[in-house]
Amino acid sequence: MGKTRISRGRFLKMVGTAGATGSALSVLAACQTSTTPQQSGGGGGGGNTLHIYNWAQYLAPYDIKHFEKKFGMNITQDTYSSNEELLAKLQGGGTGYDVIVPSDYMVSIMAKSKVIQKLDMSKIPNFKNVSKHYRGLPFDPKNEYSVPYQAGTTGILYNKKKVGRVETWDPLWDPKFKGKMAMINDVRETIGAALMRRGYSENSTDPRKLQQAKQDLIKQKPLLQGYFDSVENVPMVRRGDIWLAHVYSGDGFLAIVQDKNLAYAIPKPGATLWVDNLCIPVGAPHVDLAHKFLNFILAPKPGAALTEYTDYSTPNQAAVPLVHGKFTKIPQWDPSGKVYDRLQTIRDIGKATRTYERIFTEVKSS
């Protein structure tokens, strides 16, 4: 599985109001190949520089400027487009990075693979600012290897005038919207949606439940325009090419604040909560400085600047009151209570990953 969150909400800001598909895809391609000053792929080892391996456009300029000023250090970044690319780089001997930004399930894989090191929490006092909802999650139950960075959900962006109110996954299987729907081109997210629609865990390895999800997706396929990245689905909804799309929340939120006819649903009975995290690789040349960066991001102002830049939710509860932007008025931006209780995180399912990949291949070729 290769979860690709290229630039997330930043993608739509780069394409403005999401005009022609050709323009949008040109920017998407640019994001995939983008690197910041450090292009050697090894992170380097300069004593005056913090080397970060990150998703594209995923660190606020405010934070770069203020961290560099506060600690008298420079920040350079290399970028990747999937968690698997990140893992392969580290396993292949890509040393020299001080901080990396893996997603939820990848933290547990990296810990087992011994490519990330345990954190010294005494050097991260601002961890106290992390909301209880984002502590002790299944991929790192003791927060030994990671601190949360940004978060969001995976749900449905839809045109209210065309489809009415969406509360469950069922509209994405409704024949009356045939040709006006799209799913995310992602193994775990799409099979997970089919599983959660039936009330199952999105991490299920039960053969019977997976077979049911497979058959449901095969029935759904003729109703879809196709399987695309979230950043491709959103412009199609905005143009009216489709009316419902499976998307990541930040992409959906930016569309909503630009078009009052659109809305975003966190479907019942369950939906994905994703959390990106800060970790320190084994062999990091500036471990102490890396801890300072983690602590810095968890301070209120840097945390607020980060989430204003990405449009995603912040696990930093001290930052929430400082965040400004139209997207903060969207109820789903900061899920809580009963909504949060039905969210699920994608977990490492080990050998069953191959089963998921086979199922998705069979669905798409059916």
Looking at the predicted structure, is the pLDDT value of residue 60 above 80?
A: yes
**139 and 187 housed in the same domain:** no
The rounded distance, in Å, linking the Cα atoms of 60 and 264 is 25
**307 and 201 housed in the same domain:** no
The rounded distance, in Å, linking the Cα atoms of 294 and 188 is 29
Beta strand segments in the chain, E: 49-55, 74-80, 99-100, 147-159, 181-184, 226-228, 244-248, 262-265, 271-278, 343-344
> Strands 271-278, 343-344: parallel, antiparallel or unpaired by DSSP?
parallel
Assess if residue 130 is contained within a domain.
yes
CATH of the domain at 66: 3.40.190.10
User: Based on C-alpha coordinates, what's the Rg of the chain?
Assistant: 20
The rounded distance, in Å, linking the Cα atoms of 241 and 177 is 12
**123 and 202 housed in the same domain:** no
Output the CA torsion 194→198→203→208 (10° steps): -100
Residue with tokens 């890396």, as numbered in its chain: 290
**91 and 232 housed in the same domain:** no
Taking only the tens place, the pLDDT of each residue in 68-112 is: 999 999 999 999 988 999 999 999 987 799 999 999 999 999 999
Counting the structural domains of the chain, the total is 2
Assess if residue 22 is contained within a domain.
yes
pLDDT mean over 335-339: 86
Residue 66 token pair: 């203020």
Residue 226 token pair: 């196709």
**239 and 315 housed in the same domain:** no
pLDDT mean over 275-290: 97
- Helices 230-239 and 249-258 pack at an angle, to 10 degrees, of 20
pTM for the full predicted model: 0.83
What's the pLDDT score for residue 29?
37
What's the pLDDT score for residue 46?
53
Looking at the predicted structure, is the pLDDT value of residue 275 above 60?
A: yes
Assess if residue 86 is contained within a domain.
yes
The rounded distance, in Å, linking the Cα atoms of 87 and 109 is 9
Assess if residue 96 is contained within a domain.
yes
Residue 219 token pair: 């029935």
The rounded distance, in Å, linking the Cα atoms of 142 and 344 is 18
pLDDT band at 292, cuts 50/70/90?
very high
What's the pLDDT score for residue 94?
75
Return the higher-pLDDT residue of 176 and 95. 176
Assess if residue 334 is contained within a domain.
no
What's the pLDDT score for residue 336?
81
**196 and 88 housed in the same domain:** no
Assess if residue 335 is contained within a domain.
no
Return the higher-pLDDT residue of 54 and 23. 54
Determine phi and psi for 47, rounding to 5 degrees: -70, -15
Contact 255, 12 (CB under 8 A): yes
The mean-pLDDT minimum among 35-39, 45-49, 79-83 falls in 35-39
**185 and 281 housed in the same domain:** no
**43 and 146 housed in the same domain:** yes
**196 and 59 housed in the same domain:** no
Assess if residue 4 is contained within a domain.
no
Residue 360 token pair: 């998705």
Assess if residue 345 is contained within a domain.
yes
pLDDT band at 36, cuts 50/70/90?
very low
**189 and 145 housed in the same domain:** no
Range of the domain at 346: 153-272+340-364
The CA distances from residue 48 to 51, 96, 146, 282, in Å, are: 10, 13, 24, 19
Return the higher-pLDDT residue of 49 and 81. 49
CA dihedral (216, 219, 220, 225) positive or negative: positive
The mean-pLDDT minimum among 19-28, 90-99, 148-157 falls in 19-28
**219 and 83 housed in the same domain:** no
**80 and 183 housed in the same domain:** no
